[in-house]
Amino acid sequence: IKRVTTRTVQEMKIRGEKVSMLTAYDYSLATIVDDAGVDIILVGDSASNVMAGHETTLPITLDQMIYHAASVVRAAKRALVVVDLPFGSYQGNSKEALNSAIRIMKEAGAHAVKIEGGIEIAESVTRILAAGIPVMGHLGLTPQSIYKFGTYTVRAKEEAEAQKLREDAAKLQELGCFGVVLEKIPALLAEEVTESLSIPTIGIGAGQHCDGQVLVIHDMLGINKGFKPRFLRQYASLYDVMNDAIKNYVADVKSADFPNEKEQY
Ligand code: KIV
Ligand code: NA
């Protein structure tokens, strides 16, 4: 199998082939995602929510991200593995940002990092890229800034924020990012940014004109029962499938139906 690289996704944009991206945080799920042909596996800091049960992405640490990333890298035979720099691991200064990115590449064996923000993080992006580490940007609803936003609703509906996003996207491309995630912004703005850039845009709640799409795997598989925002298409209801299976197991144990003669030594 031929590995997807940052070049491959650039070529996809030129060909007009959409880029598929999904999150994964552990070996078993990442194996399924990779076997299914997903182009990019994102080890997102959404692990803080779906794996650790935190309310936001802020608490997850660099060490914890490296643990998740190393597990995913061991599973990914074809996909490009991109890993989020977690909150607090890059905002301080660009040398700290580079150190964090190096740890992710070295200790987890990742292929690229993703960082939230635009012009504010230009120095960090430059330094990381100078070390030969590919960087993906992330604009729009950047969940590490949730306490600044105060809400998870759509970003950049007002012209001032839309204009800032256009400038940030152009800047990230100019610095040398190989792609940029656009999260929860109007489809029209995402279309405009997508057309203005030569690097691929990967949307989540950013409409059909992005060059690719990303979802959190627990959301799209219906493992998170309650979470159903408008942008989410749910491809399975694994909560119900797993819940039924486990209830059957409990019932079989209680009734002494499991194990039977064939299931013992
Ligand atoms: O952490 C994450 O899952 C993400 C995607 C939603 C883009 O950053
Ligand atoms: Na993230």
Q: What is the pLDDT of residues 29-75, one digit of tens each?
A: 999 999 999 999 999 999 999 999 999 999 999 999 999 999 999 99
* Same domain, residue pair 84 and 215: yes
- Expressed as residue numbers, the domain containing 42 is 6-234
For ligand 1, say whether the CB of 46 is within 6 Å of any of its atoms: yes
Determine if ligand 1 sits within 6 Å of the CB of residue 142. Answer: no
CA-CA distance, 33 to 27, in Å (whole number)?
10
Write down the pLDDT at residue 92. Answer: 86
> How many Å lie between the centroid of ligand 1 and the Cα of residue 247?
32
The residue assigned the tokens 């209801």 is 237
| Strand spans (E) along 168-247 | 179-183, 201-204, 212-215
Q: Which atom of ligand 1 is nearest to the CA of 202?
A: 7
Distance in Å, CA 204 to ligand 1 centroid: 8
pTM over 0.95: yes
My answer on whether 259 and 147 are in the same domain is: no
Give me 50's structure tokens: 């779906």
pLDDT per residue over 105-141, tens digit each?
999 999 999 999 999 999 999 999 999 999 999 999 9
Tell whether 63 and 149 lie within a shared domain: yes
Identify which ligand lies nearest to the alpha carbon of 220.
1
Question: Looking at the 3D structure of the chain, how many domains does it have?
Answer: 2
Catalytic sites, residue numbers: 183
Residues 124 and 56 in one domain: yes
Residue 197 clears pLDDT 90, i.e. is over it: yes
Position 1 in a domain: no
Atom of ligand 1 nearest to the CA of 143: 8
Rounded Cα distance, 149 and 86, in Å: 18
Instruction: Specify if 250 maps to a domain.
Output: yes
Burial readout 85-121 (b: 16 or more C-beta within 10 A, e: otherwise)? bbbebbbeebeebbbbbebbbeebbbbbbbbbbbeeb
